Amino acid sequence: MAGPVYGLPPVCSGSRVLQLARQYQMAVPFPHIHFDCFLNPETAAAIAREFPDYHSSAWIRYKHANENKNGLSQRELFPPAIGELVDQLNSELFVNWLRELTGIPDLIADPSLEGGGLHQSSRGGFLNVHTDFSVHHYHPHWKRRVNLILYLNPEWQAGWGGALEFWEPDMKRCVASYVPLLNHAVIFNTDRDSLHGFPDPVQCPEGISRKSLALYYYTISGGRRSTGRSTQYRPRPADGLFKSAMMRFDSWAVALYSRAKRRFGFSDRIASKVLSIFSKL
C-alpha cells in the first residue's frame, strides 16, 4: 500500500478479524485493542511529517483544570495525506471492519470529527482520567460508542510520559498503559466505565509535542432526543483533596458548557478564548 488512499490499513486485511474481535471483547478493564503497526510504516512516517505546526493559529487551545492540549477538527485544514487517512477511516469499508472488531453492528462514522481530529500537547500538557461525552453535541440521537486514537510521534521516549492509561471503574488502579509511539493505535469502547487519560504532565523537550489523530464512532438511537452525559473527570487515589475538588468543579463547568453548546450550537473556538482568560486568572 503506497498511501492511505489506496485501501484499508494493513492491520485490517486478511482473515484475522475474528481473532482480533475475541481479543478486543475480552480485554480489561473494558473492551479495547492496541496495535503497534497500524498503518504501512512509510505511510505513517509521511503523515507524521505533515502534522501541522504547534504554533499554527488554526489550533483550538483546551486549557483548564482537567486538560491542557490543542485540538484541530476542521477536515478542510488538514494536510493532504492526513485528510485522505481521515476519509479512509470514516469510509464504509473501514467502519464495517470496526463493526466486526467491536461487535457493535450499527456503528457509523462522524465526518464532522466533533471533539476529535488532530490533538497535540507540548511540555506540561495533560488530560485527566475521564469518561467521554455520550451523545454527539449536534446530533442528539447519536450515541458515542467507539474511539480510535492513532499516535504520530516518531521521536517519542517512554520517559517523557504521555502514555494512555486505562483505569478500573472504581479508580483504584491503572490496568493498562500504552506509550504514544509512531504508528501505534488504540481502539476502545467508550461508555460510563471507560476511564482513560494521560493525567501526568508530559515531560518532552521544548519543540516536541505529543501528537495523535482521534476518530469517534456512533450508533443512532431511536426515541426521544437525549442530552446524555458530558465528559466526567475522575481523581486518582494519589490526587490530593484540593486537586480532586478542582477536578469536580471543572467537570461541573464542562457539563454546563456542553448543555449550552448543544442548545445554541456554538463552536469550541469560542470556548477556547474563554478558557484562555480563566486559565490566566
Are the CB atoms for 133 and 229 separated by under 8 Å?
yes
Query: Does the CA dihedral 118-120-125-131 come out positive or negative?
Result: positive
Query: What CATH architecture applies to the domain 4-280?
Result: Sandwich (2.60)
> 3-class SS at 174?
strand
Cα angle 101-141-111, degrees, rounded to a multiple of 5: 60
Each residue's pLDDT tens digit in the chain (281 positions)? 333 443 567 777 666 888 999 999 999 999 999 999 999 999 999 999 999 988 888 899 888 889 999 999 999 999 999 999 999 999 999 999 999 999 999 999 999 999 999 999 999 999 999 999 999 888 889 999 999 999 999 999 999 999 999 999 999 999 999 999 999 999 999 999 999 999 999 999 999 999 999 999 999 987 666 667 889 999 999 999 999 999 999 888 887 877 776 666 666 666 555 555 555 55
d(CA 265, CA 136): 12
Sketch the domain layout of the chain as residue ranges.
4-280
Give the predicted TM-score (pTM) of the model.
0.90
Is residue 62 within 8 Å of residue 275, measured between CB atoms? yes
